[in-house]
Amino acid sequence: MTKIKNLLSFVTQSRAISHTNPREHILNCLTYGLLVIVALCAGFLLWDLSSSPRDGFFHGKRDSHTLILDLEHIQELAVNPEAEQRARNVNCTFWDCLNIYKCEHDRLKVYIYPLQEFVDEQSDKTATTLSSEYFQILEAVLKSRYYTSNPNEACLFLPSLDLLNQNVFDKHLAGAALASLDFWDRGANHIIFNMLPGGAPSYNTVLDVNTDNAIIFGGGFDSWSYRPGFDVAIPVWSPRLVRQHAHATAQRKFLLVVAQLNILPRFVRTLRELSLAHSEQLLLLGACENLDLTMRCPLSQHHKSLEYPRLLSRGKFCLLGRSLRMGQPDLVEIMSQHCIPVIAVDNYVLPFEDVIDWSLASVRIRENELHSVMQKLKAISSVKIVEMQKQVQWLFSKYFKDLKTVTLTALEVLESRIFPLRARSSRQWNTIDTNARSTFNPLFLPSLAPKSQGFTAVILTYDRVESLFLLIQKLAVVPSLQSILVIWNNQKKSPPHLSTFPSISKPLKIRQTKENKLSNRFYPYPEIETEAILTIDDDIIMLTTDELDFGYEVWREFPDHIVGFPSRIHVWENVTMRWHYESEWTNQISMVLTGAAFHHKYWSHMYTHAMPGDIKDWVDEHMNCEDIAMNFLVANITNNPPIKVTPRKKFKCPECTNTEMLSADLNHMRERSACIDRFSKIYGRMPLRTVEFRADPVLFRDNFPDKLKRYNDIGSL
């Protein structure tokens, strides 16, 4: 190496002499110096390439890059026989075996050890061999949002050691291999996937490997071996899954199908007796003579064999019976055929039991009561069967459909323990999200709103000062009014000075907006301190004090509804195949206009921050339909109709009707019909509900002394 250097420097010197320009000379020197460095590096690289592959500097560098799951390049490592092994710590809890300080980043990060093959140097045996399923698990983690290539920022560590099936590896060697992992640290924060634990004769329900403090993602836990809040129960995967399209309940001929091959003999005997007694409803199948696992044969040899697992779709329910092991691949096979599992395995910890509500999608029966399984199933109503079947189908597609989904679900379960704030609630885990009609009302507290608080009137105004002042004066005398907020939606003109406003005894605030947008009326201004908001147009001066007061009273009883005065209806026009907006006096209504309506402030928040699609922008652009949008929003979230208060009123001044207005009106109506069409497309359904009732005071129009009535001045046109 030094010789080359000397040679090069010599050449440089000799050349430099031949030139006279000193600047050129310096540049040349620099260039040659650079060339020397390049040459040196190249030499070093060559030397490195020919050296041992394991401890070259490439490797150190490569590890900080994304791991490549390449079967061609699996490292071989010698198992360190001295590494300290400890048996699985049965007393582990989330609180003491997991090093939480490694997880202080804002999200869960998982480091995967590079593919390694652990070899025992004495016997030359490999610890484990990689299976297709484990490869897929590794791949799923690698491609997920959880993956990190940096072990220093990782919260969890996933060994590439395949421990899925305890039958295929040497327990001791596997333990030693785990213990010799780089970051093992008594297994803290390590996750170990295992689907078939235990072996003859004891068939332990958890992996018999010395896993110390590691978290086990196990497929066969019973409630003794499962460390609640620490381990995660996963399904035992089946390589035999076939795709199944929805199979209606009606087509399922049998009530119960039993096609599991390895049920313990004493339960098989019970089932045989049952199948004799209920031959029409119970399909009991066994293995075929050639022991082909994709076939099942009826126990009486006359019938032809059936294709497994497809045959499971013949049953409404399918049995998962007790075998030598708790977990069986049959569970996912059953679910893949959208058959409702009947679980007759005592104390089996079902997959993802922490988060999945299995009562919605399975039937559990005690092993000792297997003989009464048919009675139990017959007692289930057909409605419930359909519900459960839908749930099974949904659960399968959401959490079980392939190994990737299973892996990510398992990691999410763990994530929700480590970051409980981000955890989904059990409702979110278990509610079928494809059913648009299924709703969750965010105002679910079943109580009346307090009377004392009163409401805030939010008046959207542009420049009609006279009418605005009139309205303010009228509102101010309403006893339940708490304060008034004027939204001045005119940027060209400043609102009149506060001193020019009518003097009232209630607080009055004015807020000028930055843009003339209709959505400004639904902004959840911090000035609004009450639950109830009365949105009111500046020209609605015909409502009486009693009407407003009563309206608030009604809202208190229905705080999650829109409660208001002017109402409208939507109708389907068969001719045009479109929705039509209707303002006639009809027997039905489906919308209450926010020109004079009460709603909970939460809906303003939802309108501003959580309106689906581009509805909000569209409304602001077209200066129309903000009230329809609000009605859609509330109806879609709650499935509740709006409530109209008190009799019909003329909200438009009679002298305003001239021809010009009429044509504008027609246009207006057409646009609003278009809004309904547009919104219902965005929501994917028509959420509005039609009702035939309105709310009146109890003694409305009663032949009763007026002074004893609480609300008198109601119902004048």
Annotated binding-site members: 464, 489, 516, 521, 537-539, 626-627, 672
CA 329 to CA 332: how far, in whole Å?
A: 6
CA 113 to CA 150: how far, in whole Å?
A: 10
Choice among 231, 354, 627, 677 that is catalytic:
627
CA dihedral 592, 594, 598, 599 (to 10 degrees): 90
Residue choice 200, 246, 250, 577 for contact with another protein (CB under 8 A)? 200
C-beta of 238: minimal distance to another protein in Å? 8
C-beta of 131: minimal distance to another protein in Å? 4
- 447 binds another protein, rule: CB under 8 A: yes
C-beta of 503: minimal distance to another protein in Å? 28
C-beta of 245: minimal distance to another protein in Å? 23
Please, what sign has the CA dihedral across residues 554, 559, 560, 562? positive
- At 531 the three-state DSSP class reads coil
C-beta of 433: minimal distance to another protein in Å? 11
- Give the per-residue contact string, 154-173, with another protein (x = CB under 8 A; - = no): --------x-xx-xx-----
- Amino acid at the residue 449: A
Cβ closer to another protein: 427 or 514? 427
The answer to whether 239 touches 365, Cβ cutoff 8 Å, is: no
CA 102 to CA 139: how far, in whole Å?
A: 23
End-to-end CA, the chain: 105
Residue choice 8, 83, 423, 682 for contact with another protein (CB under 8 A)? 423
Would you list which residues are annotated within the binding site for Mn(2+)? Answer: 539
- Taking CA atoms, 81 is separated from 76, 129, 160, 166, 462, in Å, by 15, 19, 19, 20, 83
Site for another protein in 499-528 (CB under 8 A): 524
- Amino acid at the residue 481: L
- 639 binds another protein, rule: CB under 8 A: yes
Cβ closer to another protein: 337 or 430? 430
Binding window for another protein (CB under 8 A); candidates: 310-318, 477-485, 499-507, 551-559:
551-559
Site for another protein in 236-265 (CB under 8 A): 237-239, 261-265
Cβ closer to another protein: 416 or 461? 416
Residue choice 8, 142, 542, 691 for contact with another protein (CB under 8 A)? 691
Residue choice 224, 299, 494, 617 for contact with another protein (CB under 8 A)? 224
Supply the angle between the helices 22-50 and 2-18 in degrees, to the nearest 10.
160
The answer to whether 204 touches 173, Cβ cutoff 8 Å, is: no
Q: 425: which 2 tokens?
A: 């609630």
- 544 binds another protein, rule: CB under 8 A: no
Residue choice 160, 275, 430, 544 for contact with another protein (CB under 8 A)? 430
- 559 binds another protein, rule: CB under 8 A: yes
Q: Which residues of 340-360 are buried (b: 16+ CB within 10 A; e: fewer)?
A: bbbbbbeebbbbbbbbbebeb
Cβ closer to another protein: 425 or 503? 425
Binding window for another protein (CB under 8 A); candidates: 208-216, 235-243, 251-259, 507-515:
235-243
Query: With contacts defined by CB under 8 A, how many residues of the chain interact with another protein?
Result: 162
C-beta of 639: minimal distance to another protein in Å? 5
Residues sharing a CB contact under 8 Å with residue 595, sequence separation 6 or more, in sequence order: 535, 536, 537, 540, 566, 627, 651
Instruction: Give the helix/strand (H/E) hosting 30.
Output: helix 22-50
Binding window for another protein (CB under 8 A); candidates: 247-255, 270-278, 441-449, 590-598:
441-449
Cβ closer to another protein: 326 or 471? 326
The answer to whether 321 touches 344, Cβ cutoff 8 Å, is: yes
Q: 71: which 2 tokens?
A: 């079967």
Binding window for another protein (CB under 8 A); candidates: 2-10, 150-158, 222-230, 540-548:
222-230
Site for another protein in 465-504 (CB under 8 A): none
C-beta of 467: minimal distance to another protein in Å? 26
Cis amide leading into 298 (omega within 30)? no
CA 679 to CA 685: how far, in whole Å?
A: 9
- 641 binds another protein, rule: CB under 8 A: yes
C-beta of 702: minimal distance to another protein in Å? 5
Residue choice 469, 525, 651, 700 for contact with another protein (CB under 8 A)? 700
- Amino acid at the residue 88: R
627 is annotated as an active-site residue? yes
Cis amide leading into 450 (omega within 30)? no
Residue choice 13, 132, 503, 512 for contact with another protein (CB under 8 A)? 132
Would you list which residues are annotated within the binding site for UDP-N-acetyl-alpha-D-glucosamine? Answer: 464, 489, 516, 521, 537-539, 626-627, 672
Residue choice 300, 574, 587, 659 for contact with another protein (CB under 8 A)? 587
The answer to whether 333 touches 241, Cβ cutoff 8 Å, is: yes
How many CB atoms are located within 10 Å of the residue 322 CB? Answer: 20
Binding window for another protein (CB under 8 A); candidates: 152-160, 491-499, 549-557, 628-636:
549-557
C-beta of 436: minimal distance to another protein in Å? 7
CA 444 to CA 560: how far, in whole Å?
A: 8
- 704 binds another protein, rule: CB under 8 A: yes
Residue choice 213, 313, 323, 456 for contact with another protein (CB under 8 A)? 323
The answer to whether 534 touches 462, Cβ cutoff 8 Å, is: no
Site for another protein in 24-83 (CB under 8 A): 27-28, 31, 34-35, 38, 41-42, 45, 49-50, 53, 56, 58-59, 62, 69-76
Binding window for another protein (CB under 8 A); candidates: 149-157, 198-206, 273-281, 296-304:
198-206
Site for another protein in 378-407 (CB under 8 A): 379-381, 383-384, 387
The answer to whether 621 touches 516, Cβ cutoff 8 Å, is: no
Residue choice 139, 182, 539, 671 for contact with another protein (CB under 8 A)? 139
Q: In what order do the strands lie in the sheet with 116-120?
A: 75-78, 116-120, 125-126
- At 317 the three-state DSSP class reads strand
- Dihedral pair phi/psi, residue 319, rounded to 5°: -90, 135
The answer to whether 146 touches 108, Cβ cutoff 8 Å, is: yes
- Taking CA atoms, 367 is separated from 69, 130, 288, 332, 415, in Å, by 43, 36, 26, 20, 34
- At 283 the three-state DSSP class reads strand
Residue choice 350, 414, 554, 635 for contact with another protein (CB under 8 A)? 554
Cβ closer to another protein: 488 or 522? 522
Site for another protein in 352-371 (CB under 8 A): 357, 359-360, 364-367, 369
- At 631 the three-state DSSP class reads helix
| Angle made by CA atoms 685, 629, 525, in degrees to the nearest 5 | 140
Binding window for another protein (CB under 8 A); candidates: 144-152, 170-178, 490-498, 582-590:
582-590
CA 257 to CA 330: how far, in whole Å?
A: 12
C-beta of 369: minimal distance to another protein in Å? 6
The answer to whether 114 touches 148, Cβ cutoff 8 Å, is: no
Cβ closer to another protein: 344 or 472? 344
Give catalytic residue positions: 627
